[in-house]
Structures are given as structure tokens and as C-alpha cells.
Structure 1
Amino acid sequence: MHMGAPAGGMNAATRAAVRYCYRQGHTPLAVQNGFRGLLDDNIVELSWLGVDSWMARGGSELGTNRTLPSVDLGAVAAKFQQLNVQALILIGGFEAFNSLLIMETARKHYPAFHIPMVHLPATISNNVPMMEYSLGSDTSLNALVDACDAIKQSASASRNRVFVVETQGGKCGYIATMGALATGACLVYTPEVGMSLDMLRRDVRYLKTRYSLDEKGKSEGRLVIRNEIASSVYTTEVMTNVFKEEGGSLFDARSASLGHTLQGGIPSPMDRARAVRLSLKCMAFIERHHALLEAQPAKTRQATRESAAVITIQSSSIEWVPVQDMVQHADMENRRGKVTWWSGIKELVEALAGRPAIK
């Protein structure tokens, strides 16, 4: 089942899981359109040849949305029982993590959830706790860098133009921060740090000083990258107007919103490779925990808390984290992890642009 917003690598992961199923003698069922599709009986058995061309396809071939199982938990459990579901792979972002948590918590009420269940993080926002690189984040960054490189060419041709580029990412600033580093942006705004009037005033002063120090007639175009939810008051339009007004004769300002273009595109080689590797590890995990369940008496079978887990990339290793253990590392309200490994990169971006030296 795919959940949340589409991300590059979702289809590649599904293809690998389906082919592993046929190799091992399992029956792969695909739920179309998430839990809403499950309740509407949109369930198909995937074939070997049916997923043949999925490796290079972006988006989600199964269809995806943000509906959680809590919409009707009893009906979801009944469908699992009716279909004789013996294991579940959820491929998606924070909603998939939340869904896994809901179903694991509901095991005490619904025996149908006493099966191995795994979450394979796939989201362009890279906001799943303890997961350093979720599927789709690399593809999205490639799309952002391509767009920003083209925008910077336009800005540089005009000599004295600042472009405010708005990116997706929800309340997680990963795409904006890493995109700023990769494109050589001079400023970046993220939800984690937020925005204030003082910050905006200092940044305007920095841009004015920066352009005044440039060699006359040879000023470069500059990028400012802003996450879509960095501030509800200082929007992209407001910032652009402020820069335009304050720039005077030194610099002009324009804006560009990349929107949903970051969710599309052909998956990058990195996302495809990760998708296959992680998907196969998920299948092996499911088989292992299914065998442990089968060893228990049929009437009293109970899945362990370790059998509902999230596969994560931590540093250079792949770790299984039980979903209940993930909660303490998750900021459930803002739908992101409490600790982000890339938080210090914002300072690096601004240091490379000479921001700290210009007060």
C-alpha cells in the first residue's frame, strides 16, 4: 500500500517486493488508493509482467492519499480478515508511520493486526524520524537543483536580480536546506528556525551590502530559498516585495514557486537502488516474523512489538526500529523528527555566501 504524497522510488520498491513474492511463493496483493481504496475493495493481485516497467516510473502507480486507518479501524481489520492478509508493507511518509502506529496500538482490540507490518519511508520531505534518506528525497533534490540552476542563469543574466524560490517540504526544511547548499543560494528559510522581522531586516541589509561591494556592472544574480511553511506572515510574495522595495537601484527581486514539480519526474538512480535494497530487506523481515508467528499456537497467536517496525537508514547502517520506539523521536504535531542531522547546514550555506562576515 502507498500512502501520503507521491515520491520517486515508490514504484521501484513495489516492483522488487512483487518479484520477491513470486520467487518465494507468496501472493502479492496491491491496495489501490490507500486505506480509502481498501474500504472500497480496490484491491488487485499484481503480476510479474504487470510491474515490469515500474522501475523507471515516478509518482505512484497504485494511487495514494493521506487517509488514515482510524477513519474506520474496525472495517480495516475486517478487510484484513476477509482477504486473509498475512503481512503488510506500507510505502509512504509520515502518514504511513502514523498508520502503522495506529494499527499496532489497536492489536489488543483487533486480532487481524497481529501480523508483521513494516513501513518503508518514501517522502520528498524526508521527515520520517530516524530516517536519514527517505525514498524520493534524492529525486526531489535533483528536480530542485535543475530548476534553481535555470533560475540562477536568468538572475545572473539580469546582473542585479534576487530570486526568491519557494519549495515544498511541509514543516520539514530538508529540501530547502540541502537545495540551498547544492545551488549556492545565499539565504535559506526553514520552518525549524522560522522567520522574524529582525531576521528579514538583517537579511535585507546583507543583500544591500553584498550588492554594493560587487564590481560595477558585474553583479551576480542570487538565490534565496524559502520553505513553503517557513512563515505564515512573511510569505514568498511579501518577501519579494520587501526585497524589491528595499533593493532600490542596487537590486531587483522576482519570485518562483516550484510547487508540485518536486514530486514528479523520473526517479534518480540513488532512489531506485535504495528502493530495491530496502524493499527486499522488508520482505525478509516479514518472512522472519511470520515464521515466528506460525510457531505459536493458532488460537493464541500474538505478534511481538518488534513485528511492527520502520526500516531506517542511520549513518552507514540499516536499522529496524519498532514503531512504538519511534514515537519518542517524533514531533507528531509538526510531522517531523525531533532531531535533524542536517540542521547545521543552514549555517554552512550562509557562511559560504559570506553572510556572517557582513553584519
Structure 2
Amino acid sequence: MTTPPLLDHIRPHTESIVPTMGFEGLSIQRSKYSGQRLAVFTSGGDSSGMMASVRSVVRMGLYVGCKVYLIHEGYQGMVDGGECIREATWNSVSDIIQKGGTIIGSARCKAFREREGRLAACFNLITKNITNLVCIGGDGSLSGANTFRSEYPSLVKELVESNKITEEQAKNNANINIVGLVGSIDNDFCGTDMTIGTDTALQRIIEATDAVTSTAQSHQRAFVIEVMGRHCGYLGLVAALASEADFCFIPEWPPAPNWPEVLCKKLAQQRSHGQRLNIVIVAEGAIDKQGNAISAELVKNTIIEKLNYDTRVTVLGHIQRGGSTSAFDRLLGCRMGAEAVLALMEMDKDSEPCVISIDGNQMVRVPLMKCVLKTQAVQHSMQLRNFEKAVELRGESFQRNLETYRLLTKIKTPKVGDFNGTSYNIAVMNIGAPAGGMNAAVRSFVRMGHHSHCNVFAIHDSFDGLIAGNIEPMSWQSVNNWVSQGGSNLGTRKQAPTEENIKLIAEQMEKFNIHSLLMVGGFEAYQSAIVLNDARKEYSAFRIPICVIPCTISNNIPGTSITLGSDTALNEICSLIGKIKQSANGTKNRVFVIECQGGYCGYLASLSALASGADNAYIFEEKFGIEDIIDDCNVIKKKMETGVKRYLVVKNEKANKNYTTDFVMKLFNEEGKGVFSTRANVLGHAVQGNAPSPFDRNMGTKLAAKAVNHLVHQMKLTVNADTNEKNATSDSTCTLLGLRGRKYEFTPVSDLIKETDFEHRLPLEQWWLKLRPLLRILSKHESCYLIEAEEESDESS
């Protein structure tokens, strides 16, 4: 195993924080670190995803040969010792991945802030020979861990001098290695794109805002919703984007002292446009530019006094911390926990404490104290009322969210016609199967199009609708409340242009004088862009800027690491698997084969299996045969004897044309007679979900906003709206907008052809396949390792 290389570039918003690549996706040797000991604890405020992290730390630790301990009640348990520090087994962390909070407890410990308390903690760790710690908590907890590490040699020396430990114990426990995982719903830690628990907290907030919308509409009420976040406005800002809130108050973007007049003008304007309700989001640390606190109650009273609206306050409070963990936080916890163990095993006495963070879609290690200091610098900027600097320090993602929100909620809606008197006609359509976030993308496209002084048209029912002339001009208000709606309000078809209808499509594009086109959809949208790009030679109507936003639950489109809609589907599958697991728990000795959609792509099957604690996932990308299925039967029999008496297999719908879900179920039933019984569940279209997840709402909003800016820029270069001359002929004017690495990039669809398996509708390279080994490591019972070890020994002999 080689030392992880430095990233080729330093992220702009981390400045001196240089991330180091982790080992995710590399081969991990079993029992490589036999004899090592490590402990994991949770500290500070709880957050959903902590349990996924603890489970991952324990099981990866056991896999590489460590003795693993659970420290109960955070630093307090470390200080108290005794039964608070218990050795973990494989089954200690069974069936916890979906749970919120922390089953090992968390507490704020005054004793640990004093040297005497840290001395007691040091003694308790030494008695167990624990030299490696995983701390899951916020910046305060991580700072405490760093202080503990820096003092550790002197604490050991003091224990020797007081004869509490022997010289040999001191020698074997001279130093402590620290790795941190940031567990916080606030997403206020610099150095990671997301903290564990933030996504789940957003889901709770959006569930609440969606719920109050119906009662608010019924009675024409205004609702003021207070969200958590301390002095960080991330939750409030993203919740405002994902709920179409009319106004939001966050600490980093304080309003002027005349905010009551501005607020009431905006709310009154929305009512004048026919809206029956108003939603205002208030972050708990909100202030105005003079530093005066803005509370939910103050906002409520202002609305009542100035507008006489029936207004209610909803303080979400600790509801945001609880509930079932989102798929994103489960996956984040699994990935970070495993990487934390590997990082600890690579450390020596001179190694700097690090934090495991997510950079784009990569697990990286960043220096702990540099991140803590930068996080504290944000607070310092806020205290100095240097809010622009605070927003800058929050990072590029926060800045993009804020700018998008400001544009989409403008008080004065723009008029068509740009500053030169020219107006472009831009159109949007949905193609493929419905997916969460489609409507959010269309709403953002419409409003950003109007902000760019364009005429915006919506094409209903894909190319069938275009041929039939089913095209509608869209106003700013016509997309009110679209963000929270699942499916496709425009209507969508699984189709691409053909030789038979391409001429009709071109004629309609000419008839409506379309100057640029956005297609939001799945693989068919990508294929359509290729067809339109090739048809430019024959039809001038297609010599316009064209862009695709990949939107499908299957995540099977090249040019992006994640597609719009896949997060909603993952959450839906995890929820359904949770219900199935409950049935298996009650029945005992029950195996479930669960089939999910995705075509040939195993993304949903693999990641839902990892996020739900399933035992295996059968996918098209990893070939399997009858021997593999029978081997699974033997593993199941062993698990029924020694572990949790259930087994879950998630299977992709087109994993194998012969080994169907029904075939696998019947084979399991035959081979498992007298030991276990098997049932099959085909999830079908239920996985498309109902309301889109906050992730998909926010992603759809930002992708469409970026697409409009891109299309407008290209129209100015290639289209003359006065003469209707269209010259967008280069491949760079027909693109797909996707997340590549940690950046959103426009890639010409012609360049993506060589990256595509068109027969199976798959990208040739899929990043998530590197998570498959982690699925096997975290799901297998330790007895299975012995079986495999014996088999390998027999083969070698």
C-alpha cells in the first residue's frame, strides 16, 4: 500500500488546507494491522449518520485485524472509564446504520476541559492499550481531541511518576493518534463539502415546510419557520432554496435595518400575483447589518403589524436532529468511517491529526487544526461584521447557493428584452422517465431565463409535444411551487428524434423561432443531443446552443458522476428496504431478494445496499454465475447460525437476463430448505419517489441556473435574434452539464460518445464501482472471513 498522493490542485476555498487522497477503492489486505487497538466515540451534539460512521469504524477495524472499543458518553465516558469503554464485536453494530442519534451516547464534558480530566482519560485508555482514536463531533470536540494529543506525552509521564502505570505501559502507549469525522447538522466546518448529519437535517426541514404548505394555502397564512444552525446559515439558505421560501434570514447575509419594509413588500407582491401563502425561513443566529438579532417572533409580529396577515411561527428545534438517516448521510458515514481506520493505521508519532472530508466525490484527509482555525476565522469575520469575508470563507458552494437564491427570489421580476433591445427565445423540455428534481430544474430555467431578459417556452410531452405544437410561453409566476413537486409537470416521453420525424422537429423549431434548447432528462436526452448535433448539417434550426441536464434515477449517463433524481430514488429504496428488514426481523431466518430499477446500471442496487446494510448486491457490471449464487447460500446458512437471522440481497433489474429475481429466489429456497426461506420484492416504479429530496431540489435549481448563463453566452456569440441567423455549428455548442470531479462542467456530447456503452446505456467508467469492496467488507459476518481464508489456503496448497 503506497502513501496517498497529494491532490493535483488545492481547492480555492481551502487556501492553505492541502487535502491528501485516501485509500478508497484500493485493495485492503485483511488482518494487515493485527494487534492494533482503536476506539471510537461521539461527542457534542448528535447528528444523523453518526451510527453509520461508528458501524463502519468498527467493522473496518475488525476487518484489518484491530481490537476495537466503543467509548460510551463521549469524553465523559473516556474520563470515567470502566464500563464506559467496551470492546466491540461484529454484532455490536448490527442494524444501526439507519438510526439517527448515537446509541453509544454523547455528552458535553466539563471535566475533560481540565488537565485532571484529561489525565484520567489518558489512564483509562492506557489500561486498555488504546493508541488510536476516532472522534466524531463538531469543531469543539475535534479541538479537544487535538489538545489531548498534544498533551499526551506529558500526561503519560505524569502517570508514570505517580506510579499509576508502569514504564512498559508508558513505552507501549507513548502517543495517541487522532482522526476526526465531522458530525454536525450545521455544515459549518471548513475543509469538507458536507458534514455528517446535514443532509438528514435538511430532509427534516423540508418535510416540515412541505407539510405546513397545505395548511398555509388553505387559510392564506404566512408561516415563519425557525431552523437551527447556530451562527451558520447553511441550513436556512438551502432550505429556502428547496422550499421556494419567499424570504430567508441568515447570519452571513444580514439585511439592512429597513428589512421590515423590504420583507413586507416582497410578501405583498407574492400575494398580488395570486399566491395564497408565504414562507419565511429564519436561521436561529440571524441578525441585521447592525448586529441586532432577528427572531422568528419578531418577523411574525412585523408581518402582522404591517400586512395584517394570519401568521404562525414554527420552531423546528431538535426535530432537525432526529428521524431516520438519509441515504447520503449513511453513505457519507460509511465512507468516512472506513477511511478513518485506514488513516489511523498509517500514522506514526509524528503524524499530524487529520479530518476525513469529502471533496467533490472523493474521500480525502485534511489537517485537523488548519480546518478548525479556518472555521474559527469565519466566526471572527462575523464578529467584525465583515460579512463578505465570512461568505467567502464558507466556500464556493455556499456562495453559489446564496447567489442563486438572490436571483430566483428577486422582488422586481425582470422584463423581456435585454439591454440592447434584443430578446432571445429559449425553450426547455423533459425527456425520458420522470425523476425527482425535474420540476426544480424547469422552474430555475424559467426564472433565470426571465432574469436574462429572454422569452421562455416550455415544450410539453417531449418531441411528440413539439411536433404537435404543444409549446407554452412561461411567465415568472407560472412555475410557483414547482420545486417541491415530483415527476414532470411538462410531461415526458422516452424518445429521441428519428429519421422519420427529424424534419418535423426542425420545422417546429423554426416555426417558434427557438434560439436555444435545454433538455432535462435521462439517456434519451443525451442521445437526442447527439442526433440534433449531427443533424445541424442538414437543418439550420438545430444550429443553436443545445444543453442537456442529466436527470434520471439510474445515474447511467456519461459526463457526470451523479444525475438529478438519483438521490431521491436512493432515499426511497432505503426507506422501502427498511420496511422489508423489519419484516425479516420479525419472521427470523428469512432472506429477501429485492429488485430495483436502473436498467443495466448497478448504481442504485449497489449504493442502496451499502446505505441500508444489505448483505450483497447483484449487478450487471460485476458478472456472477450459478456458483456465486450457491456460495451465497452457504454464507446465508452460516449467518443464520451465528449472526442476525436475516439476509438481504439487492438485485439490479437487468443484472442478468437468465438469473432473474424469480430464479434467484427459487434457487435460494431450494438450497436453504430447513434453514431459511426466501421472498422476492420487486420495487418497480415506487423508487422514483414522491417529493424530491432537498439534494435533488437544490441540484436541479443550480444546474438550470448555470445552464441558462451558458446558453445566453453562446447565443450572443452564435445567434442573431434580429436576422434569425443561426451559426452554432461547433461541438462546443451542444453540451451536457455534469459534475466531474468537484466542478460542474459543460462537456460536448460528441466527446462523450467514446465514453459510452450504447448497447447497455452505460458510461464506460463508473466511479461508484470503487465502493463495491466496502459493501462486502461492511456486510460480511466475521465467520465468513474464516471460510474464505480456509478456501484460499486450500487453493494455494
Normalising by structure 1, report the TM-score: 0.95
Which residue identity lines up with residue 18 of structure 1 in the other structure? V
In structure 2, distance between residues paired with 1:299 and 1:203: 63
Preserved contact between residue 550 and residue 564 of structure 2 (Cα < 8 Å):
yes
Alignment partner, residue 45 of structure 1:
473
Alignment partner, residue 418 of structure 2:
none
How far is 1:27 from its partner?
1.3
Counterpart of 2:769 in 1: which secondary structure?
coil
In structure 2, distance between residues paired with 1:329 and 1:322: 12
Alignment partner, residue 752 of structure 2:
326
Alignment partner, residue 617 of structure 2:
188
- CA distances 1:81-118 after superposition (whole Å, capped 9, x unpaired): 01000000000011000000000011111111110000
In structure 1, distance between residues paired with 2:710 and 2:573: 34
How far is 1:246 from its partner?
1.3
Q: 1:27 aligns with which of 430, 452, 455?
A: 455
Alignment partner, residue 634 of structure 2:
205
Which residue identity lines up with residue 163 of structure 1 in the other structure? F
Alignment partner, residue 692 of structure 2:
267
Which residue identity lines up with residue 664 of structure 2 in the other structure? M
Which residue identity lines up with residue 331 of structure 1 in the other structure? D
Are 1:131 and 2:560 matched, yes or no? Answer: yes
Which residue identity lines up with residue 446 of structure 2 in the other structure? V
Alignment partner, residue 69 of structure 1:
497
Preserved contact between residue 719 and residue 728 of structure 2 (Cα < 8 Å):
no
Which residue identity lines up with residue 642 of structure 2 in the other structure? L
In structure 2, distance between residues paired with 1:196 and 1:77: 48
Which blocks of at least 5 consecutive residues in structure 2 are unaligned?
1-428, 789-797
In structure 2, distance between residues paired with 1:184 and 1:302: 49
Which residue identity lines up with residue 700 of structure 2 in the other structure? A
In structure 1, distance between residues paired with 2:630 and 2:556: 30
Alignment partner, residue 575 of structure 2:
146
Alignment partner, residue 162 of structure 1:
591
Q: 1:118 aligns with which of 547, 550, 556?
A: 547
Which residue identity lines up with residue 558 of structure 2 in the other structure? P
Q: 1:177 aligns with which of 591, 602, 606?
A: 606
Preserved contact between residue 559 and residue 736 of structure 2 (Cα < 8 Å):
no
In structure 2, distance between residues paired with 1:299 and 1:159: 70
Match runs of 1:225-304 below 5 Å? 225-294=650-719, 301-304=727-730
In structure 1, distance between residues paired with 2:718 and 2:776: 53
Greater relative CO (CA pairs within 8 A, separation 6+): 1
How far is 1:302 from its partner?
4.2
Are 1:350 and 2:779 matched, yes or no? Answer: no
Preserved contact between residue 195 and residue 234 of structure 1 (Cα < 8 Å):
no
The sequence identity of aligned pairs, in percent, is: 36
Match runs of 1:85-100 below 5 Å? 85-100=514-529
Q: Which moved more, 1:240-249 or 1:284-293?
A: 240-249
- CA distances 1:100-154 after superposition (whole Å, capped 9, x unpaired): 0000011111111110000000000000112111100000000000000110011
Counterpart of 2:570 in 1: which secondary structure?
helix
How far is 1:300 from its partner?
7.5
Q: Which moved more, 1:238-247 or 1:98-107?
A: 238-247
Which residue identity lines up with residue 494 of structure 2 in the other structure? R
How far is 1:210 from its partner?
2.0
Counterpart of 2:595 in 1: which secondary structure?
strand
- CA distances 1:17-56 after superposition (whole Å, capped 9, x unpaired): 1111222221111111100111111111122222101100
Counterpart of 1:69 in 2: which secondary structure?
coil
Which residue identity lines up with residue 281 of structure 1 in the other structure? K
How far is 1:212 from its partner?
2.6
How far is 1:188 from its partner?
0.5
How far is 1:280 from its partner?
0.4
Which residue identity lines up with residue 8 of structure 1 in the other structure? G
How far is 1:352 from its partner?
1.4
Preserved contact between residue 718 and residue 726 of structure 2 (Cα < 8 Å):
no
Sort the Cα spacing of 1:44 and 1:210 in 2 relative to 1 into closer, same or farther, 3 A.
same
Which residue identity lines up with residue 69 of structure 1 in the other structure? P
Q: Which moved more, 1:251-260 or 1:300-309?
A: 300-309
In structure 1, distance between residues paired with 2:535 and 2:637: 57
Q: 2:538 aligns with which of 91, 109, 114?
A: 109
Preserved contact between residue 156 and residue 222 of structure 1 (Cα < 8 Å):
no
In structure 2, distance between residues paired with 1:166 and 1:300: 47
How far is 1:195 from its partner?
2.9
Alignment partner, residue 32 of structure 2:
none
Preserved contact between residue 640 and residue 646 of structure 2 (Cα < 8 Å):
no
Counterpart of 1:127 in 2: which secondary structure?
coil
- CA distances 1:173-202 after superposition (whole Å, capped 9, x unpaired): 000000000011111001111331111121
Are 1:14 and 2:439 matched, yes or no? Answer: no
The RMSD of aligned alpha carbons is: 1.6
Preserved contact between residue 460 and residue 466 of structure 2 (Cα < 8 Å):
yes
Sort the Cα spacing of 1:137 and 1:346 in 2 relative to 1 into closer, same or farther, 3 A.
same
Preserved contact between residue 10 and residue 91 of structure 1 (Cα < 8 Å):
yes
In structure 1, distance between residues paired with 2:621 and 2:776: 16
How far is 1:304 from its partner?
2.1
Which blocks of at least 5 consecutive residues in structure 1 are unaligned?
none
In structure 2, distance between residues paired with 1:4 and 1:37: 13
Preserved contact between residue 126 and residue 134 of structure 1 (Cα < 8 Å):
yes
Counterpart of 1:29 in 2: which secondary structure?
strand
Q: 2:482 aligns with which of 45, 54, 76?
A: 54
Alignment partner, residue 65 of structure 2:
none
Larger Rg: 2
Preserved contact between residue 720 and residue 726 of structure 2 (Cα < 8 Å):
no
Match runs of 1:78-89 below 5 Å? 78-89=507-518
Q: Which moved more, 1:22-31 or 1:321-330?
A: 22-31
Which residue identity lines up with residue 712 of structure 2 in the other structure? E
Q: Which moved more, 1:112-121 or 1:220-229?
A: 220-229
Are 1:4 and 2:432 matched, yes or no? Answer: yes
Alignment partner, residue 313 of structure 1:
739
Alignment partner, residue 325 of structure 2:
none
Which residue identity lines up with residue 320 of structure 1 in the other structure? F
Which residue identity lines up with residue 157 of structure 1 in the other structure? G
Which residue identity lines up with residue 441 of structure 2 in the other structure? A
Q: Which moved more, 1:12-21 or 1:67-76?
A: 67-76
How far is 1:67 from its partner?
1.7
- CA distances 1:39-79 after superposition (whole Å, capped 9, x unpaired): 11111112222210110000000111112112411111111
Which residue identity lines up with residue 3 of structure 1 in the other structure? I
Which residue identity lines up with residue 550 of structure 2 in the other structure? P
Q: 2:464 aligns with which of 27, 36, 39?
A: 36
Preserved contact between residue 3 and residue 34 of structure 1 (Cα < 8 Å):
yes
Preserved contact between residue 8 and residue 267 of structure 1 (Cα < 8 Å):
yes
Counterpart of 2:483 in 1: which secondary structure?
helix
In structure 2, distance between residues paired with 1:162 and 1:298: 63
Normalising by structure 2, report the TM-score: 0.44
Sort the Cα spacing of 1:299 and 1:37 in 2 relative to 1 into closer, same or farther, 3 A.
closer
Query: How many equivalent residue pairs?
Result: 355
